[in-house]
């Protein structure tokens, strides 16, 4: 059955969005409709609700942490810790899965985070041999260079909750709600094994890497296994999303954090947002190129949709920004190849295999034409528009060369 692709009249998403999206009779998508709740809900009431939920988790003896916050050194980390410490008055344990693709700027921001907020941090360094072995497999079999990061980042906090007996995990916004309106804020959706599998892990649980791909053994993936239900229930582990209780606006939040806590930012060639993913050499680079190969759009479209919905970009200006950035050259592929021990030519051969024929047409041996959304009808009608993001630094930060900082204690 061929289903027709419908585009939203407000944002730039259409019904081919990998998280699933619905466009109604008026042409408005589910993501835009749920976004409207941000201006309708009583956020004071919702914050009170949050305060009520978390007060039961405050450690009575004050000898344990009150909650866990997963951190990376970028994205909304500063804002989440700010809310948890200063508004909810909890004592969090920060936990960080080491993704290995660290930029010096990310290490700096992570160190500054724990110092400014006076927090303890636990960092999980899975041994590099396993991480590389898994990454080689996931590139070949799933067309993903990022699977290990998503798997680690979503499981390490849960394992820590069980191990340290800290039942409450606090996340920022729920991606499914923010992008495609998978849930209403009022559903107060919580962390689940199911969402992790379906969306973060591309429907492949770590255990399946063993059965599908014979060169991965059980000992290679045990760090990525989700705790069993019995362990979770014994501790009462639960993960909540602040975005359900606080009006979520990443751009405004980051700008507040830049001002108060000196969060540093960086520009990227493939998007106009300077605040997300400054901790990583791969996400806004090679991973983003793969995204447009597979799905016909990239992160700049996500950023553009978010800014349209917040009323800071016109649709035309957003299209202009998407067109400007989406095919920009990557800068750090060679770094990745050096780390993994593969040749760029071999990587590019693998990447061509994962180009989705819905969006790419092969015109020659190594030549491809993009046949995805060209926004043709809007041609020559673009307003330039202007949206400002503060660019305070560079990914490389001070004296560091072009290398991944595999383990870094940061400054000072
Ligand atoms: Zn929309």
**Domains parsed from the chain with CATH numbers:** 1-40 (no CATH), 41-244 (3.40.50), 273-378 (no CATH)
DSSP characters for 103-143?
A: -HHHHHHHHHHHHHTT-EEEEE---HHHHHHHHHHHHHHH-
pLDDT at 238 > cutoff 70? yes
What distance in angstroms lies between residue 309's CA and the mean position of ligand 1's atoms? Answer: 8
* Least confident range of 72-81, 214-223, 224-233, 264-273: 214-223
Q: How much is the pLDDT for 207?
A: 87
- pLDDT value at 186 more than 80: yes
Q: How far apart are CA 51 and CA 255, in angstroms?
A: 25
pLDDT band at 383 (very low <50, low <70, confident <90, very high): low
Rounded average pLDDT over 15-33:
96
Confidence of residue 218 (pLDDT cuts 50, 70, 90): confident
Question: What pLDDT is stored for residue 1 in this prediction?
Answer: 46
- Predicted pLDDT of residue 382: 47
Quick one: pLDDT band at residue 93, thresholds 50, 70, 90? very high
How many C-beta atoms lie closer than 10 Å to residue 1's C-beta? 2
Rounded to the nearest angstrom, the distance between the alpha carbon of 209 and the centre of ligand 1 is: 35
Q: Which of 185, 308, 320 is nearest to 251 (CA)?
A: 308
Give the pLDDT confidence score for residue 78 in this predicted structure. Answer: 98
First-to-final CA distance of the chain = 59
pLDDT for the residue numbered 399 = 55
Above 90 in pLDDT, residue 210?
no
Quick: pLDDT tens for 281-298: 999 999 999 999 999 999
Query: So what's the pLDDT on residue 295?
Result: 96
254, 314 Cβ separation under 8 angstroms: no
411 pLDDT band, cuts 50/70/90, is low
Q: Is residue 378 scored above 60 in pLDDT?
A: no
Higher pLDDT, 333 or 5: 333
pLDDT at 48 over 50: yes
205, 201, 97: which is closest to 153 by C-alpha?
Answer: 97
Q: What are phi and psi of 67, to 5 degrees?
A: -160, 170
| Spacing, Cα 91 to ligand 1 middle (Å) | 38
How many Å apart are CA 341 and CA 247, to the nearest integer?
Answer: 44
Q: Which helix (H) or strand (E) holds 93?
A: strand 92-97
- Percent of the residues in the chain that have a pLDDT greater than 90, as a whole number: 79
- pLDDT-derived band at 215, boundaries 50, 70, 90: confident
Distance 274 CA to ligand 1 centre (A): 23
pTM greater than 0.75 = yes
Over range 326-337, report the average pLDDT.
Answer: 95
Q: Quick one: pLDDT at residue 214?
A: 65
242 C-alpha to ligand 1 centroid (Å): 22
User: Distance from the CA of 302 to the center of ligand 1, in angstroms?
Assistant: 11
pLDDT of residue 402: 64
Q: How far is the centre of ligand 1, averaged over its atoms, from the C-alpha of 46 (Å)?
A: 25
**How many angstroms does the Cα of residue 295 sit away from the middle of ligand 1?**
17
What does the pLDDT read at residue 410? Answer: 63
Cα 30 to averaged position of ligand 1 atoms, centre (Å): 7
**Residue 374, pLDDT above cutoff 50:** yes
Rounded to an integer, the average pLDDT of 394-406 is: 66
Query: Could you tell me the distance, in angstroms and rounded to a whole number, from the CA of residue 29 to the centre of ligand 1?
Result: 4
Residue 28 CA to ligand 1 centre (angstroms): 6
Distance from Cα 97 to the centre of ligand 1, integer Å: 33
Measured in angstroms, how far is the CA atom of residue 312 from the centroid of ligand 1?
Answer: 15
Ligand 1 centroid–CA 239 distance in Å is 27
Is the pLDDT reported for residue 191 higher than 60? yes
Q: Is the pLDDT of residue 397 over 70?
A: no
Q: 311 alpha carbon to ligand 1 midpoint, in Å?
A: 12
Locate 335 and state its tokens. 């770094």
17 alpha carbon to ligand 1 midpoint, in Å? Answer: 11
3-state secondary structure of 328: coil
What pLDDT score does 393 carry? Answer: 76
For residues 87-103, average pLDDT: 96
Distance 145 CA to ligand 1 centre (A): 29
Average pLDDT in the chain: 91
Distance CA(268)–CA(125), nearest Å, equals: 27
114 CB-near residues (< 8 Å, 6+ apart):
94, 120, 121
The tens digit of pLDDT for each residue in 119-156 reads: 999 999 999 999 999 999 999 889 999 999 999 999 99
């Amino acid at each position: 059955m061929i289903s027709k692709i419908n585009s939203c009249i407000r944002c730039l998403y259409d019904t081919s969005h990998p998280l699933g999206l619905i466009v109604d009779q008026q042409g408005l998508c589910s993501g835009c409709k749920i976004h409207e709740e941000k201006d309708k809900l009583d956020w004071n009431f919702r914050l009170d609700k949050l305060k009520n939920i978390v007060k039961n988790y405050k450690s009575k003896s004050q000898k344990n942490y009150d909650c866990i916050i997963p951190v990376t050194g970028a994205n909304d980390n500063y804002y989440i810790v700010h809310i948890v410490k200063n508004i909810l008055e909890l004592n969090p344990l920060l936990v960080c899965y080491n993704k290995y693709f660290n930029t010096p700027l990310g290490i700096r921001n992570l160190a500054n985070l724990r110092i400014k907020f006076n927090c303890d941090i636990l960092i999980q360094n899975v041994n590099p041999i396993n991480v590389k072995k898994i990454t080689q497999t996931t590139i070949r079999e799933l067309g993903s260079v990022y699977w290990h990061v998503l798997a680690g980042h979503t499981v390490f906090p849960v394992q820590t909750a069980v191990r340290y007996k800290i039942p409450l995990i606090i996340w920022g916004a729920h991606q499914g709600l923010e992008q495609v309106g998978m849930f209403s804020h009022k559903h107060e959706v919580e962390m689940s094994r199911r969402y992790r599998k379906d969306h973060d892990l591309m429907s492949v649980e770590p255990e399946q890497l063993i059965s599908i791909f014979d060169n991965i053994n059980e000992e290679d993936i045990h760090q990525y296994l989700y705790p069993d239900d019995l362990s979770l229930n014994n501790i009462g582990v639960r993960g909540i999303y602040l975005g359900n209780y606080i009006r979520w606006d990443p751009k405004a939040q980051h700008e507040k954090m830049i001002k108060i806590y000196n969060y540093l930012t960086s520009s990227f060639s493939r998007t106009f947002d300077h605040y997300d993913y400054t901790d990583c050499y791969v996400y806004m680079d090679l991973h983003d190129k793969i995204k447009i190969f597979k799905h016909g759009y990239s992160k700049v479209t996500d950023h553009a949709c978010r800014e349209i919905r917040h009323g800071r970009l016109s649709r035309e200006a957003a299209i202009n920004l998407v067109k400007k950035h989406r095919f920009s050259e990557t800068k750090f592929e060679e770094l990745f190849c050096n780390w993994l021990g593969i040749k760029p030519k071999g990587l590019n051969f693998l990447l061509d295999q994962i180009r989705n024929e819905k969006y790419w047409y092969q015109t020659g041996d190594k030549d491809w034409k993009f046949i995805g959304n060209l926004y043709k009808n809007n041609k020559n009608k673009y307003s330039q528009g202007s949206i400002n993001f503060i660019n305070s630094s560079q990914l490389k930060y001070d004296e560091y060369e072009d290398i991944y900082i595999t383990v870094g204690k940061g400054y000072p």
